[in-house]
Every structure is written in structure tokens, then in C-alpha cells.
Structure 1
Amino acid sequence: MSNSLNVFEFEDYRVFLKTYLSDEANQASGARKRLLLSTGISSSLLTQILSEAKQLSTEQAYEIALHIGFTEKETDYFLNLVEIGRAGSVKLKERLRKKMLEMQNESQQISAQVNRNIILTEEQKVLYYSNWLYTAIRNLIATPYGKSIQTLADKLGVPESKVEGVVQFLLESNLVTRGAESFDHKPGYTHLDASHPMILRHHQNWRQRAVHRMDHYKENHFHYTCPMAISNEAAKVLRASLLDQIKSLNATLQNHPEEPETAFCLNIDFFEY
């Protein structure tokens, strides 16, 4: 999906699909053909849907959401737009539109602003987010340090046997692949919703690593702590600004397709104490 295309800004799913399919990058890559092949929708039916002669079924809408790579919240929102289009009474439309507005407000939550296009099973999530090594090794495989088990172990200072177990899981979960001479990183994002049971462990893992790395400080590292006394309004503005920065960071990363050379971690905390 285009970095600038936000499904929460649309109140009609057909307008969203028209915008999505008319995007220059999507047109160049044959997005319409790929969407039809992926979802099983015929070209004539899609034309009728976009011209408002027919409606998507819920099942077809879900297949489109999977194809585009929506987050869970984006998927729920898109399905709700389809239900609004299909609703046969004014009362039902009003109820669904109220839900739509609530979801638009919720979209400012961080989980709705991070683009995720790799879906893990619940069992895979539990293991993948249980220890910092899984995300660390997956990222390092994209760099020169990821050429072998030994280079990964040397970089991270952990036993080769531990690295081997992690890499085996990554291979089995299709998060990395095995090339002719080394491992290959599979592009894409994974993400946990704020309500997921593993989110606390994931945050704790990388904050503990941040504390550990403070004892190995380098000039290209950055640690910043700022307790403050501010108004409630200022807190709202600052939080919104941080969310915008996260969106900008993700866009920046996608706009720099150079080969990765190293791996960094960014932790952001903003809380009332």
C-alpha cells in the first residue's frame, strides 16, 4: 500500500479502492491484476463494484484486506466500510457510521500506524517476541554480519548453538530464507497490537538491551531521558507529535532502499508518572 494512502481517511471503501488502484506505483506494478488473482474476484465484477452497481461481500472484502496487507485495525475498519455500503436501513447505517468514527479516533493508536505485512501465527508470535535475539538476528541477517551462524554469534556475543536454534525458527516461519552461500533477509514488517499478551515482554526485552548497551557507549548511540511537568493539553500535543514521527520514520526507512550495513534499535517511551 502506498505510504501516503491511509484507509482511515476514507469513508467509502469504493473510493479507497479506486484511489489505491489509480496510484502510479500500483498501476506500474499491475496491482489490479494481482488483486484479482489473489482474491478470485472477476474483472467485470470489480468494475461493477467500483461503479457502485454492486457491493463487495464480506468474504471478498477480507481477501482484499489480506492482499493489501492491512493491519488488524485497518482490516476491521475496511470491513466496517463494506458493511456500511451493504446496510439496508438508515438505522443500521447510522450505527455502523458511529463505529467508523470511533475506529478513526482509535487509528491514532500506534498499532494502527505501523504498516505490517508479515502475518505470524499466535504460536510463532509467542516465541518470536519472547527473546530479543529473534528480532535481532532477523535484522542482522540483512547485513554483512548475517552471512553465517558464526558471524552472527560473534556480533552478538552469544553461543553459536543459540544462534542456530533461532535461525532454524526464522527459516521455518518464513521470516528468512536460505540462499546459495548465506541466509537471506525477507523484507517486511511484523507488529504486535498494544493489547497482545506478548507486547510487554517485547518492550522489556529491548529496553533491557538499551540499558546493557549503555555500558558499551559509541558516538553513534543516542540515549535521552526527560522527566517533565507539563499541562494535559501539552501532553496530548506531544503524544500526537511522537505518533507522527513514528509514521515519518517508517516512511524514511522505506525511502532508503540501500543494502543494510548494521542494525539499530529505537525505543520510545512517553508515560505519566
Structure 2
Amino acid sequence: MSVYQFEDYKEYFNNWVESLPKQGHGEYRRVSMALNVSTTMVSQVFKGDKELSLELACDLCEYLNLNEDETDYFLLLVEHRRAGSMKLQKRLQKQIKERKDKAQKLENRLKKETELSDQQKAIFYSSWIYSGVRILASCDDFNDAVTISQRLNLPRNQVQKILDFLLTNGLLVQKKGELQLGATKTFIGSSDLLTVKHHQNWRLQGFNRMVQDDSKNLFYSGPMSLSHDVAELIRQELSNLLDKVYKVVPPSKSETTRCLNIDWFDF
């Protein structure tokens, strides 16, 4: 759900809550704890006529894991609701429309320019090797088929074919003789049939690593019984962790490779 779909911050937040498991049962309480306010106040804001202060709105954006542009847009919606005159509301409404249009154009452009086709996805997700070679090639010490094939213990001609595919489709680019990650995105949604294949590919690699005595690796299995509220809290904490991971990983220097697998499910 995108914040840009809405022109009212309350409508956005309430839709976000309803999209959560069990329609967000207990979410007002968790938000009140995060903002250090009472649950009654949260209810008065999102079910009544009370408005958020800009300070609390900023904290809420952090809780919702909105990025910088999304946060600015959300705060603009709050200002619009708090505006005390029609003149100010009209000016803020114009800014809201401009930001929405800008975000929509950027989203459409990026989607058009950086997404793989269905046929390309079928090839890329057919084996872990494609994403493995892509990620490894972004590291300084593995910039050709020879070094990559040695590291992954794969035939050099196979690695070269995969590199050709990755370069041809923008998943890798070559600058000044060095391989770097390209702009093309490899993300697939949870409803895509290839998602299961992607998970299976990397889970199998995890199984293979379990038999190796390597202190860099960490494997954990912990079946447990717990309350429904705590189970939902853990699921959200894991989601928050993933958001934090992908905020710090892209800007960091490619020096080593890791695979993150997290399993959290009802059984």
C-alpha cells in the first residue's frame, strides 16, 4: 500500500492497519507505545476529530518505515488537515497534488525501465546460481568468470554464460573494466509462482552449509508456544528488521556475500 494513494493521512493509516493480519487487532496499542502516548489519544486521532502534531506525525512515519519522500508527503497531509484557513488548505492541496504526480511518474518510469520480463524472470529464478553470480560479481575480488567459478566451484563456461545473461539484461554493468550491480531489479511479489522457487533455491544452499563448521554462519530452529499477540509482534519485528537490513545494505560497499533466510510460520 502506497501513501501516495491517499490525500488524507487518517485514511491511509486506517487502511494500513486494516491490511495487517487480523485487521490490525492491537495495533493502536502498539502505536501508542511507539509514540509514547495513550491508546485513547491514538483512537481520538484516527477515529475522531483530533489531529496529530507534526512531531508525533514524524515519529509515526518512522514507525511505519516510510522513506524520506514518503515522510515529507505524510507530513504534508497532516499540515493540510491542521490548516486553519481555506487559503492555506488550497496551497497545501496544490503541493499534495504535485508530490503525488511526481511520485507516480517516477514509479511508472522505474517500473518500465528496471523490471525483468516474465521470460527473463523464469531464467533468473531457475537456479540460485544467477543471483549468486550477480551478487559475487559486485565484490572487488570477483570481477571475472575465472575468479567467480573458482569461488563457487562451478565450470567457467557456465559462469560466463550467466554473466552474459546478467550483463545483457542490465542486472550487471561493466564500468572501467569492473562489474557492478545494474539498475534492473530482481524483486518478485509474494503471489508470484517464482517466489517459491526462489526460496527453495536458497533454502537448499542453506541446508548444504549447515554441515560445514563455519563460525560466520548462524542457523537457528526454535519451535515454541506463545500468545497470538506476541506471535504477531514477532512477525512485525522481523518485518521491521528486513526494512532496516535493506536500508543499510544497498549503500554499503560490496566486500563479502551473505544469504539471509528467515522462517517464521504457524505449524
TM-score (norm 2): 0.61
Say if 1:13 and 1:118 are closer, same or farther in 2 by CA, change over 3 A.
farther
Structure 2: stretches of 5+ with no match in the other structure: 10-67, 73-89
Deviation at 1:60, TM superposition (A): 8.3
For 1:152-167, what aligned pairs fall within 5 Å after superposition?
152-167=148-163
Deviation at 1:130, TM superposition (A): 1.3
Q: Please point out which of 212, 218, 223 is paired with 2:219.
A: 223
What code does the residue aligned with 1:223 have?
A: F
Q: Is 2:125–2:198's contact at 8 Å kept on the other side of the alignment?
A: yes
Cα displacement string for residues 121-153 of structure 1 (whole angstroms, at most 9, x for unaligned residues): 111111111110111111111113421100000
Which residue in the other structure is 1:133 paired with?
129
Matched, 1:169 2:211: no
Matched, 1:233 2:229: yes
Matched, 1:196 2:238: no
Q: Is 2:133–2:163's contact at 8 Å kept on the other side of the alignment?
A: yes
Q: Please point out which of 144, 149, 152 is paired with 1:148.
A: 144
Say if 1:188 and 1:263 are closer, same or farther in 2 by CA, change over 3 A.
farther
What code does the residue aligned with 1:149 have?
A: A
- DSSP 3-state at the match of 1:230: coil
Q: Hey, what's the Cα distance between the residues in 2 that align with 1:190 and 1:164?
A: 20
Q: Hey, what's the Cα distance between the residues in 1 that align with 2:177 and 2:248?
A: 30
- DSSP 3-state at the match of 1:144: coil
Q: Hey, what's the Cα distance between the residues in 1 that align with 2:133 and 2:95?
A: 50
Q: Hey, what's the Cα distance between the residues in 2 that align with 1:205 and 1:141?
A: 19
Which residue in the other structure is 1:36 paired with?
none
Q: Hey, what's the Cα distance between the residues in 1 that align with 2:196 and 2:97?
A: 41
Deviation at 1:118, TM superposition (A): 3.7
Deviation at 1:231, TM superposition (A): 2.1
RMSD between aligned alpha carbons?
Answer: 3.6
Q: Please point out which of 256, 264, 270 is paired with 2:264.
A: 270
Matched, 1:212 2:208: yes
Say if 1:169 and 1:51 are closer, same or farther in 2 by CA, change over 3 A.
same
Which structure 1 residue ranges, 4+ long, deviate > 6 Å from structure 2? Answer: 53-56, 58-61
Which residue in the other structure is 2:180 paired with?
184
Q: How many residue pairs are counted as aligned between the two chains? A: 192
- DSSP 3-state at the match of 2:220: coil
Q: Is 2:172–2:182's contact at 8 Å kept on the other side of the alignment?
A: yes
Which residue in the other structure is 1:33 paired with?
none
Q: Hey, what's the Cα distance between the residues in 2 that align with 1:153 and 1:266?
A: 22
Q: Hey, what's the Cα distance between the residues in 2 that align with 1:12 and 1:159?
A: 55
- DSSP 3-state at the match of 1:240: helix
For 1:28-177, what aligned pairs fall within 5 Å after superposition?
51-52=93-94, 62-67=104-109, 69=110, 118-177=114-173
Structure 1: stretches of 5+ with no match in the other structure: 1-5, 24-47, 73-116
- DSSP 3-state at the match of 1:178: strand
- Who wins on radius of gyration, i.e. which is larger? 2
Which residue in the other structure is 1:260 paired with?
254
Q: Please point out which of 3, 6, 19 is paired with 1:11.
A: 6
Which structure has more RCO (C-alpha within 8 Å, separation ≥ 6)? 1
Q: Is 1:145–1:155's contact at 8 Å kept on the other side of the alignment?
A: no
Deviation at 1:227, TM superposition (A): 0.9
TM-score (norm 1): 0.60
